[in-house]
Structure 1
Amino acid sequence: MQTGCRKCLTKFFIIPQRYVLSIMGFFAILNAYTMRVSLSIAITEMVQRHKSDFYDPDACSVFDIHNSTSPHTVSDELYPWTSKQQGIILSAFYWGYVLTHIPGGVIAEKFGGKHVLGLGILSTSIFTLLTPFVIYITEGNWVWFVVLRVLEGFGEGTTFPALNAILSKWVPLSERSKLGTLVYAGSQIGTVLANSISGALIHSTRTWASVFYFFGCMGCLWTLLWTLLCYSDPESHPFISTEEKDYLKKQMAGISKDNRKIPWTAILTSVPIWALVAAQIGHDWGFFAMVTDLPIYLKEVLHFNVKQNGFLSSIPYIVMWIVSLVTAYICDMLITKKCMSISFARKFFSTFGMYLLNLIY
């Protein structure tokens, strides 16, 4: 009976399971980023305006206050948070986020990434749904909001480590550029959707709370689908085809699956590791500064309304996504044609991207 059900399910899934997992991984990161980034737009409509806080002699003049900086939310949903408090609120997510990276990766390697990733996204979704309730019940106490954002960061900090652990067991080396680009493009698409949908939602519903309800529900829906469709490795998957399982075994034959002791000393004293850390810090500094502060700049300095703000804030990430797809294809082509080694190709494209980003800034 079990074998018969397995055969039926295998026939039902025409798409190879590694592609299903990659698509779901894409939506995992997409959901993670929508819940992370949406606050950057929402907070522009959560705060009471104070001339002393927002006066800037270099800001654009406001010709039509109704169409630009007037809040689209009702007045009793606006709170007297200062610019400093807003900065703390926006950064609080990352305080929790960095703390669960390493534990999340270790747990995912030991017990499988499926449930680590699923629980991480689910917890973030629940805290996102609770955001309006916490703000309303505390009457806009920004400290409680900070606590909630830290907890969201705790949950979402496991996303990339768990996903990396899963992909290492599912994606052959020859497909990692393409499928890796697909999965991690979720960060750009998620940022695009977070900005554009948040602006449109607030504009149409006239309440910032709709943003948290919408993206929180989307995260819960993803968790349900992830639990039903995806597994930590091909061996534990109940309806992967025999052909795909054999293919993955052959392609991954040279990759060790032993749970060896983590060489922390070697890692912490490795020059290449610290070079990667420095490169990632450089990337994240520019990326998250733009994610966090661009919507506030567009509202307070350029005086765009929330709908315009959401659209304009999403444009850089649309371009980023397109470029990532094109460069991934070029990178794989150069490796396949043996124009570049895998190592050199990774270094070249990473370095080129970093220098280009710094040049633009």
Structure 2
Amino acid sequence: MIFLKKLCCGVKDENAVQRTGPVIGIRHLQVLFYFLLLTYTYCMRTVLSVSVEAMINSTTTNPNIETYDWEKKRSVLLSSFFWGYFVLQIPVAYLGKMYGPKSMLVVCSLVDSTSCLLIPTMARRFDAYGVIACRIFQGLAQGGIAPLVHSLLGRWAPPSERSVLGTVTYTGAVFGNILALPITGVICSSWAGWPASFYLFGALGVKWAMLWAIFGSNTPRDHRRITDEERTYILESLGHQEEKVHETPWKRILTSPPFWAITLAFIGANWGSSVLLTQTPTYLNKILEYDIKTNGLLSAAPYLAMGICSIAFSSICDWIINRSIVERGTARKIFNSIGTLLPALSLTIVGFIPKGHSTLSVALLIFNGGLTAGGICGFQVNHVDLSPNHSGILMGITNSWTSIFSIISPLIVQFIVTDDTNQTQWRTIFLISAGIYAVTDLFFIVFASGEVQEWNNCEDMAGDAENARGKSDEDEPIENGTIERY
């Protein structure tokens, strides 16, 4: 009865900081920048998944567009991005924490965009090795983006809006796939050919870096156009009482069960998304027999479903948290399970659908993509819940470690699927992915938390430990409220 009363009427948290800033403010402009950044970076990450087919087998009537004998190198080309992806995440997260993420995002975006622009030239001059080199540099650059964006969310997203703002940010990754897959398919089939797709998305990345350098900001304190009301609202809701840099409690992070819950959930999501992103175009082409233009449109459909569901899920998630229907940690577990257990079921079913029922297979793949959006307001924003001060570091650790599985998954697919037209071999891949989804979600259900961890509030690196021990009780975090000392 109490739960039904909360569900119907809602019970607002009495300790919550009241909204004093504008409904639409500078924090939303910052989140728009994060959204666009992830849109463009995922366009540049995804473009090769579709264009590689055109680079191997001509899909244009333009005789001047070159093709290459890379059939046996396909999986290596697709996985090479992740060779660089995990290398710099923790160092970049640490530097962003020390010196601010704004300038580092400019550098990461420019390196990523330039590498994308150079792929056609490098392919012509150095064959597959040139493309692999560009993709490694793209991986190095993009590896720093997620931790830096997470660090910014820790400074800009009030707890009462965290699910929505975090989800809008990471929906950029979804939207990037929605754009890149069909647009790349159309471009590859046009007179311009596959090189134009790399030029287009690389140019968009350069444009973003220029605009961010002008309008971006590290914190609400630094932004010149933010109102006093919005600045106060954000800082007080996050408990940012003073500007300081906290020492990173490495040992306590690495021995924290909620941190490992995020890490395992991340592994499951990365594995599933890697298979969905890099292998769906091949599955649609070889098993369901769709041409490259149709393939691009259908490959984008799961991400369109994900984008729609992510907005719906995040709004519901913040609503049930803010009205105290469930605790924050419970809400994260519910939506993470939606984003893993149901896709595990749909992937299992896809593996057993006969070739002649391609419409049903595509429908389930779209259904799978939509449901995985639950993970964005599950594990994805959970880093900021555990530690607003160290959220960038947490993201750097989890994203770098779990990206190793993005390297492994295409290679495992290549090892198991020796014949692209053999559906039994593809079934094995889908069942493995479903199993990983289920196991990692079970660990998240048992060990995840939505509370700020006590190691969030380490002493100021420039401060005195003795002074820290002498702090009064008023400096302690307020449990179940939104004010914690930053």
Please, what TM-score do these two structures have when normalized by structure 2? 0.64
Aligned to 1:341: 327
For the pair 1:244 / 2:230, whether they are aligned, the reply is: yes
Structure 2 distance, partners of 1:232, 1:205, is 43
Aligned residues: 325
Structure 1 distance, partners of 2:168, 2:106, is 19
Q: How does 1:60-209 map to 2 (within 5 A)?
A: 71-72=59-60, 74=62, 77-83=66-72, 85-138=73-126, 141-209=127-195
Aligned-partner SS, 1:235:
coil
Aligned to 2:298: 312
In structure 1, runs of 5+ residues without a counterpart are: 1-12, 49-69
Given that residues 47 and 78 in structure 1 are in contact (C-alpha distance below 8 angstroms), is that contact kept between their aligned partners in structure 2?
A: yes
Given that residues 101 and 148 in structure 2 are in contact (C-alpha distance below 8 angstroms), is that contact kept between their aligned partners in structure 1?
A: yes
Q: How does 1:192-341 map to 2 (within 5 A)?
A: 192-253=178-239, 258-341=244-327
Structure 2 distance, partners of 1:302, 1:134, is 33
Q: Which amino acid aligns with 1:165?
A: S
Please, which moves more after superposition, 34-43 or 232-241? Answer: 232-241
CA 254–124 in structure 1, closer or farther in 2 if over 3 Å, else same:
closer
Please, which moves more after superposition, 264-273 or 316-325? Answer: 264-273
CA 310–335 in structure 1, closer or farther in 2 if over 3 Å, else same:
same
In structure 2, runs of 5+ residues without a counterpart are: 1-21, 348-486
Aligned to 1:47: 56
Aligned-partner SS, 1:205:
coil
Given that residues 44 and 198 in structure 2 are in contact (C-alpha distance below 8 angstroms), is that contact kept between their aligned partners in structure 1?
A: yes
Structure 1 distance, partners of 2:202, 2:238, is 36
1:197 to partner: Cα distance? 0.9
1:160 to partner: Cα distance? 0.7
Structure 2 distance, partners of 1:271, 1:35, is 35
Given that residues 31 and 169 in structure 2 are in contact (C-alpha distance below 8 angstroms), is that contact kept between their aligned partners in structure 1?
A: yes
Aligned to 1:62: none
Identical aligned residues as a percent: 33
Q: Which amino acid aligns with 1:34?
A: C
1:30 to partner: Cα distance? 0.5
Structure 2 distance, partners of 1:101, 1:243, is 34
Q: Which amino acid aligns with 1:298?
A: L
Q: Which amino acid aligns with 1:125?
A: S
Please, what TM-score do these two structures have when normalized by structure 1? 0.86
Deviations 1:254-304, CA, capped at 9 Å, x for gaps: 577532221222222222222211111111111111101111222233332
Aligned-partner SS, 1:340:
coil
Structure 2 distance, partners of 1:352, 1:158, is 28
Aligned-partner SS, 1:193:
helix
Q: What's the Cα RMSD here?
A: 1.9
Corresponding residue to 2:40 among 26, 31, 39: 31
Structure 2 distance, partners of 1:328, 1:14, is 17
Aligned to 2:345: 359
Q: Which amino acid aligns with 2:112?
A: T
